Structure 1
Amino acid sequence: MRRSGIALLLLALTACTPGGSPASAPSAVGTASRQSAAEAEATLASLRRVDDLPLYEMTYTGDYETAATGPAPTAATPFGCSLFAAFGDPKRPLFGRNFDWDPNPALVLRADPPDGHASISLVDLRYLGFSAGDDPRGDRRLLDAPLLPFDGLNERGLAVGMAADDSAYATPDPGKPTVGSVRILRLVLDQAATVDEALAIFARHNIDFVGGPPLHYLLADASGASALVEYTDGRQQVERGTAPWRALTNVPLAGVGEEERRHDRRYRVLADALGRSKGAVTEAGAMDLLRSVAQPHTRWSVTYDLATGQVKVVAGQRWQTVHSFRLAVG
């Protein structure tokens, strides 16, 4: 498990890390909302509690501004997330992800912006200023939730997720706009239908890692395409692939041989299992695989079916309780 010092994270930055300080209060409330009053009220009224993590579900009605500002939480290391894409069964391409961090409330967010793709994503509500004991009902801070997708799936069958990577850094190109390291996931979910389109969005932007640990990203789509995006020696590195599986933890992978990658235990466990099955896993098998690499601080485990839009979530390692959600894809 990799370590670094305590870092101030901007809204657009995040890491998968236990042991952080309580989130600071938001600097603005509902700054992302471009909703009418009725749409905002409908959004807040849709909130429901589905698990005592607590885990909530909410449907965002109307539009939002992805360039909006927001709260500035703090966090500490160590951290560790595990992700994989499995394409061995072409009828059931799956994307799985463990989010490992503090015992914070989480949100399953449905969004359907008027000029973008519908999506389901998972949000750590601490980044909006909520702690586990808070009651978020009617709280307008929830209107900033679209800014914070930690992983997600859109209606075109494109899934995205991220994990911290201490070794990475990005040198900005003055000719490109800059976007935060989590906000880029919202741009991808809203605007991209394929891995190639998602990579084009990454290529058009600088990624802002200032103030927090850098990230690397896993992308996958229903066609079986996948890609790793990392930042090495200040430059963006992309590793494309159509292999039957791909895994990502918290060690750099671009330009690193498979033998060296397997020095990381969680990567090795994922690679061994996915290699044996040639990337063919069931939904239940995918959740079992996430369980095999879970850590004491795993907050949620999620599988996304890229072909059917089926989403399965386990909160707080309560493996016997699997919550099901559905996004129409195609």
Structure 2
Amino acid sequence: MKKILMWVGLVLVFLLVVFGIVFRNEITTIATTKKLNDKPFYEMNYRGDYALDKILKKGVDNDQELADFATKQLLHGIPVKIKVPNLGCTTFNAITPDGDKTFARNFDLDNAPVMVVRTKPKNDYESISVVDPGLIGIKAEGMNKPMGRLMTLVAPYIPLDGMNEKGLSVAVLKLQDENTNQNTGKPGINTTVAIRMILDKAKTTDEAVNLLKKYDMHSSSTATYHFQIADKRGKSVVVEYVNNQMKVLPSDKNYQVATNFYLSPEKYGQGKGQDRYKIATEKLEDQKGILTPEQSMDLLKATHLEDKGDNSKAMVTQWSAVYQQDKLQLDIATGHNYKKVYHFNVH
């Protein structure tokens, strides 16, 4: 009996060692997750390879294909669903009085957890991004549960805004229209894979646009989206898909603003957020595009959405982020609490 117990113990130890070796990156990643406030707001340092090149080569034509890839590649068979919900947002870029570049973003949605994720792929650019774990079904109360923590391993594929080590920033904003579904024979990408690709592989706005041109866009959920992309040289564009045609709208000023309506002439004004666009544009015009990072955060506060009633499904600002592109620093306030701003560096 003693020998049997000894061998059983040795087998268990062996299995634990093998498990630790096979899942070392996943275990380390989950161990880096830290709760910062009761929003809840978390940070994570992602370890390991999330196989971006593999998914770009294979292509994805919808959110389910991305979920299937994540299930197999990142979760070792544990199923996950990815769903981008209704959302409203405001973005703009500006210049500080010292000439540094900034990129700002409000993310508006019903109540959701928030997570800042650092990624450091082996052969691509290091970056920092902000994700909503609700996209993979994790609610606020689920973040502290083992399955919720495990599901956050999909975080690299659900970024909604971010900045890489070259100072390139990008954010996505929803539009009210039918899905974008390009079918030109190129590999497919969806909305969040596009952001991941830009952060990992582009160092300038032009490079980001050229990357998008190489893929057929299949927008997430039942809507279409546009992206604002800006680099630390100050070049900003808004990329839209009008009737499945990619449109690139460069700024003719030292700033640019986007909310949730089309800016392309063919559909200009279709959507919502004109009030937020007006507030941001007028402030930037008045300041000639020059704002300190603190003033950019103040402008995000001026355009943020807050539920004034008891509607738990109301669209409210989940986070306000200012990316200091020269300093590679993210300043972020969560849950429209602008008295507490957190600071993160890309590295």
Q: TM-score, normalised by structure 2?
A: 0.79
Aligned to 1:194, which of 176, 201, 204? 204
**How far, CA to CA, are the matches of 1:252 and 1:128 in structure 2?**
27
Q: 2:134 aligns to what?
A: 126
Report the CA distance shift for 1:275/1:261 in structure 2 as closer, same or farther (over 3 A): farther
Q: Does 2:217 match 1:207?
A: yes
Structure 1's consecutive aligned runs of 4 or more residues displaced over 6 angstroms after TM superposition are 256-263
Q: 2:321 aligns to what?
A: 302
Q: Does 2:163 match 1:158?
A: no
Cα offsets for 1:15-36 (capped at 9, x unmatched): xxxxxxxxxxxxxxxxxxxx95
**Alpha-carbon deviation of 1:37?**
2.1
Q: Secondary structure at the match of 2:237?
A: strand
**Alpha-carbon deviation of 1:167?**
3.2
Q: 1:97 aligns to what?
A: 105
**How far, CA to CA, are the matches of 1:169 and 1:260 in structure 2?**
15
Q: 1:57 aligns to what?
A: 43
Between 251-260 and 143-152, the greater mean CA deviation after superposition: 251-260
**How far, CA to CA, are the matches of 2:82 and 2:176 in structure 1?**
19
Q: 1:326 aligns to what?
A: 345
Aligned to 2:332, which of 301, 313, 317? 313
Q: Secondary structure at the match of 1:108?
A: strand
Q: Secondary structure at the match of 2:294?
A: helix
Between structures 1 and 2, the one with greater helix share? 2
Cα offsets for 1:35-69 (capped at 9, x unmatched): 95222211111010111110000000121023224
Check whether the contact 1:167–1:252 (CA below 8 A) recurs between aligned residues. no
- The one-letter code matched in structure 2 to 1:115 is N
Report the CA distance shift for 1:304/1:37 in structure 2 as closer, same or farther (over 3 A): same
**How far, CA to CA, are the matches of 1:175 and 1:260 in structure 2?**
29
Structure 1: runs of 5+ lacking an equivalent: 1-34
Q: Does 2:130 match 1:144?
A: no
**How far, CA to CA, are the matches of 2:82 and 2:125 in structure 1?**
28
Q: 1:21 aligns to what?
A: none
Cα offsets for 1:170-208 (capped at 9, x unmatched): 352332111111110000000000001100111011111
Report the CA distance shift for 1:281/1:219 in structure 2 as closer, same or farther (over 3 A): same
Q: 1:9 aligns to what?
A: none
Q: 2:188 aligns to what?
A: 178
Q: Does 2:116 match 1:116?
A: no
Q: TM-score, normalised by structure 1?
A: 0.83
Aligned sequence identity (%): 29
Check whether the contact 2:84–2:220 (CA below 8 A) recurs between aligned residues. no
**Alpha-carbon deviation of 1:104?**
1.1
- How many residues align? The count is 293
Q: 1:22 aligns to what?
A: none
**How far, CA to CA, are the matches of 2:196 and 2:340 in structure 1?**
28
Structure 2: runs of 5+ lacking an equivalent: 1-20, 56-68, 72-79, 307-315
Q: CA RMSD in A?
A: 2.4
Check whether the contact 1:163–1:215 (CA below 8 A) recurs between aligned residues. yes
